[in-house]
Amino acid sequence: MKLAIFGATGGTGQHLVHQACAAGFDVTAVVRNPARLADRPNLSVVQADVMDPVQIEGAIAGCDAVISAIGPREGRTPTTVCEDSASAIITAMRACGARRLVVVSNSGMVVDEGDDLVTRYAVKPILGRVLRHEFADMRRMEQLVTTSGLDWTIVRPPRLTDRPHTGRYRTAINRNVRRGYVVARADVADLVLRCLDDERSTRTTVAIAN
């Protein structure tokens, strides 16, 4: 399977590249700074502006699936990085006929039946205030993805950690994981790759937690 990975130099993106290459996928990493990625077997690195659909179309053409692990930049000011990158990726995918898209979002902005009472009424209201700009950006990104007409999956992790890859985690379809407070970035990457050929995940949100 041939993959295009965006956000490949980020915390989760680096695990995606490592695991995908190790599994034998043909990986194209689309980055602003190629020097931030080490050479690996099965890896091609393309330097491009992810916000420009014309620049990234060539990297997506011929791919079986596209993965975006682009996250909001740190800060407490309005941001559109997730929204704008998703818009460009979707436009480029449509232009070259690519269909399968998996994006990494977050579960912190979503309150549903998967949350316990403390999380629902205490933790997430605080998160919503502190991270309101980042969450707003990700909500707009999710809206673009779910209305794209593509074969999409949205993966929603809670707080990310740098713990080792275990392959042992809990998931939930279209709701949050009960008492799902943290997850390793490496395990998020594991789930993303598993979703690629799992038809049950198509056009769903998949929450994950350790």
pLDDT tens for 141-150 read 999 999 999 9
CATH number at residue 111: 3.40.50.720
Of the listed ranges 49-63, 65-79, 123-137, 175-189, the least confidently predicted one is: 65-79
- Half-sphere exposure for 186 (CA within 13 Å, toward CB): 9
CA-CA distances (angstroms) from residue 152 to 34, 39, 101, 133, 140? 27, 29, 5, 24, 15
Of the listed ranges 4-13, 72-81, 129-138, 152-161, the least confidently predicted one is: 72-81
- Measured between alpha carbons, how far is 80 from 133 in angstroms, rounded to an integer? 9
Question: Which structure tokens are listed for 122?
Answer: 């205490």
Q: Three-class SS of residue 195?
A: helix
- Measured between alpha carbons, how far is 205 from 172 in angstroms, rounded to an integer? 8
Q: What is the pLDDT of residue 103?
A: 98
Whether the pLDDT of residue 74 is over 70: the answer is no
Q: What is the pLDDT of residue 146?
A: 98
For the entire predicted model, the pTM comes to: 0.95
pLDDT-derived band of residue 83, with 50, 70 and 90 as boundaries?
A: very high
- Measured between alpha carbons, how far is 101 from 126 in angstroms, rounded to an integer? 31
Report the pLDDT averaged over residues 25-54: 94
Whether 50 and 70 have beta carbons less than 8 Å apart is answered as yes
Number of domains in the chain: 1
Whether the pLDDT of residue 45 is over 90: the answer is yes
Residue type, 86: A
Whether 170 and 156 have beta carbons less than 8 Å apart is answered as no
Report the pLDDT averaged over residues 164-183: 96
Q: What is the pLDDT of residue 75?
A: 64
Report the pLDDT averaged over residues 182-198: 97
- Measured between alpha carbons, how far is 31 from 34 in angstroms, rounded to an integer? 6
Domain around 60: 2-209
Report the pLDDT averaged over residues 23-37: 94
DSSP output for 180-193? --EEEHHHHHHHHH
Whether the pLDDT of residue 132 is over 70: the answer is yes
- Measured between alpha carbons, how far is 88 from 197 in angstroms, rounded to an integer? 24
Question: Which structure tokens are listed for 62?
Answer: 């011929």
